Structure 1
Amino acid sequence: MIQQIYITDYLSDAAAQSAAVIEALTAQCPLLLQADWQVMPVAPLTALFQVLQGTEPAAISPVSAVLRARQAWVAPPALCLLPVHLNLQRDTFSLQGTVPLPAHIYAWLTDRLQQHFAQDFIVHAAPEQRFWWIQPLHPVDVQCRWPQDCLYQQAMQWQPQGKDAALIRQWSNEIQMLLHQLASAAEVPDWPLTLNSLWFASVPELPLWQHERQVAGTGAVFDGLRACQLPGLVTRPLADVVADKTVRHALMVADQLQDVDWAALATAMQHGRLPALEIVLPFVERSVRVRYRRRARWQFWRKAQSLPVLLQQLESSLPSARLPAAT
């Protein structure tokens, strides 16, 4: 039986579309409007790794190490490099999210990065074309956080740390100038207007897994967990895990909302086969936890809250960021 579902949003695609995510989820599972919704102070990946590690998560998220585990040819030491959009202001700037790239832009950038930084690091393209793996030619002592942990925060809160932090800032400045040149070049069609920087993220050592649960899932993060031999993995369809009463203390990991078979879950909830469920969703720079419990028959007279009221209540829990409207 599935007890928890984590929508990791590991590339922060859904963080700026929180209202749309909640609207889509409640449309597929209307019973969740009767659940308890609570904003959590940490991002979905942090909440997930806290469960899997059994302790407070480290300052540097292990998600890049988990993703690298799928790529045996990427040898340590390495960094992850992601295309991002920075909100540049007069005195400071903040991270607004990662930027998906058209295939030809990704190939163009891969070639230009390899040429420009040939004396500094080796650039490896990633199969999903959402980031690159970087292998410095010389040891680099630096700690750079994963983008999901830094969304909408002022720059001073997430600057690189360590002996070689200045080197990372130098590379970042060179990259911004390079991107400006490429964006102005007529030979580069369909340049994404939101792309204005590349983000370095550290690749730490893999943590020691200490959880006592079975883990089902789909997507890049789940594949990475499988590659780094997370114990208790269940490679079965979600509908089978939901129906199997012998499965205890199970959780599911998915990259995006649409990766989950919500129809199977909604059916199980409607027929009383899923007495309780906890879902962790991306919610701006944090996450929202949805706790559903099957109601006794005498409680069904209670009216479920409406979606607009729910969104208003959740937005009021965000003092520093407004909830983007659903489209």
Structure 2
Amino acid sequence: MNLSIYQIGYLGSQAKDTPHSGKSKILTLGHARFLEQVTDTLWLQQLGIGVQNEWPLARWLWTAESAENDTLSADQDSLLSGSLLLVQPVYLSLQRDSFALEGLVKLSADEYNTLTDLLNQFFAEEQLQFLPSHTQQYWFLKTPHVWQLQTHFAQAALQRNIQRYMPTGPDAQRLRQIMNQVQMLMHEHPINQQRAQHGLAEVNSVWFSGVSADTLPPTSPDIKLVKSPVTLQSSIKDINEVLQQGVQSACMLVEDDSIVDWDTIYDNVRFKKIQRLDCYWPVAQGTLQVTLTSSDRWKLWRKPRTIASLVAHYDQTH
């Protein structure tokens, strides 16, 4: 199979659609199912990435960004020792006797740069580096030595008590200490005071996942990657670039609906330029997969469906 994988923007927006929009048609006419695996795991599987103890997401993301950014590439040699972890800003809500992960926090450029400097200054004596991402929505934590850890993706813990999703392993306590220190740093921080004034979720903690060693297994040779191997914010804005590669099937990880040309994508499936389209939407504790083929366009009896209605239907039937 000639499979093209491309990724759009993290933990998706819910763009409003009319019943006649390309996205609405894909959701309504396609075959939908809820997968209990988090989207990052599914995505790495699509890339043919093997795993022993944990998906090495942080290393893959760093490698992808380094391929696109010469300034990151210059630091590549320094990462051959120690561990690399993905660090995401989050908002934790206080429950009766625990915390729940309410969601990831999207930062402005100024907020991101301020927090990058703050974290690096605070943890400098411990030789911990918070390396910036060009997405400005997460960091890479570089440790001075290899840490033995098992972590969980943030999506798996969304809207749940975080206790069962906390890191485990010989070095887990150190990571928990860093989380506690960040929480103290961010308590009543000016960034959070400003966000609260504007009705925005505060950054009151960070979430660690995707712990990686210094090597990566090869990707499957049967998969064509468009733009970059895997990066949370890369996007394909011109579907013709995909079609020129003679694609038969396409996979889309949808994280920001607003930047997707849904009408063009739907039309290309409708007219059989793409034989099969698989879309993956990250939702709490799992993934919504919608598969559309050209023959599905005749299902005119179906009522319009949205991501929210499909997830609600799953919750009601399980």
TM-score, normalised on structure 1? Answer: 0.74
Q: Which amino acid aligns with 2:208?
A: F
Aligned counterparts of 1:313 and 1:209: Cα–Cα separation in 2: 32
Q: Secondary structure at the match of 2:21?
A: helix
Alignment check: 8 A CA contact 1:8 1:282 kept: no
Q: 1:178 aligns with which of 181, 185, 206?
A: 185
Aligned counterparts of 1:44 and 1:8: Cα–Cα separation in 2: 13
Q: Which amino acid aligns with 1:283?
A: V
Q: How does 1:143-162 map to 2 (within 5 A)?
A: 143-162=150-169
Aligned counterparts of 1:289 and 1:25: Cα–Cα separation in 2: 19
Q: 1:66 aligns with which of 60, 63, 67?
A: 60
Q: CA RMSD in A?
A: 3.7
The answer on 1:27 being equivalent to 2:18 is: no
Q: Secondary structure at the match of 1:106?
A: helix
Structure 2 unaligned spans of 5+: 67-71
Q: How does 1:3-14 map to 2 (within 5 A)?
A: 7=7, 11-12=10-11, 14=12
Q: Which amino acid aligns with 1:194?
A: E
Q: In the alignment, which residue of structure 2 is the partner of 1:50?
A: 45
Q: In the alignment, which residue of structure 2 is the partner of 1:314?
A: 311
Q: In the alignment, which residue of structure 2 is the partner of 1:106?
A: 112
Give aligned pairs, total.
298
Q: Which amino acid aligns with 1:266?
A: Y
- How much does 1:180 deviate? 0.4
Q: Secondary structure at the match of 2:120?
A: helix
- Change in Cα spacing, 1:320 to 1:149, as seen in structure 2 (3 Å) is farther
Q: Secondary structure at the match of 1:317?
A: helix
Q: Which amino acid aligns with 1:44?
A: T
The answer on 1:122 being equivalent to 2:125 is: no
Structure 1 unaligned spans of 5+: 225-234, 322-327
Aligned counterparts of 1:25 and 1:195: Cα–Cα separation in 2: 36
Aligned counterparts of 2:20 and 2:172: Cα–Cα separation in 1: 44
Aligned counterparts of 1:189 and 1:222: Cα–Cα separation in 2: 27
- How much does 1:118 deviate? 2.0
- Change in Cα spacing, 1:130 to 1:202, as seen in structure 2 (3 Å) is same
Q: Which amino acid aligns with 1:241?
A: V
Aligned counterparts of 1:267 and 1:184: Cα–Cα separation in 2: 44
Q: Which amino acid aligns with 1:107?
A: N
Q: In the alignment, which residue of structure 1 is the partner of 2:69?
A: none
- How much does 1:223 deviate? 8.9
Q: In the alignment, which residue of structure 1 is the partner of 2:240?
A: 239
- How much does 1:179 deviate? 0.6
TM-score, normalised on structure 2? Answer: 0.76
Q: Secondary structure at the match of 1:307?
A: coil
Residues 104-144 of structure 1 deviation map (CA, whole Å, 9 limit, x = unaligned): 32232223222322221133333332222322344432233
- Change in Cα spacing, 1:22 to 1:281, as seen in structure 2 (3 Å) is farther
The answer on 1:195 being equivalent to 2:203 is: yes
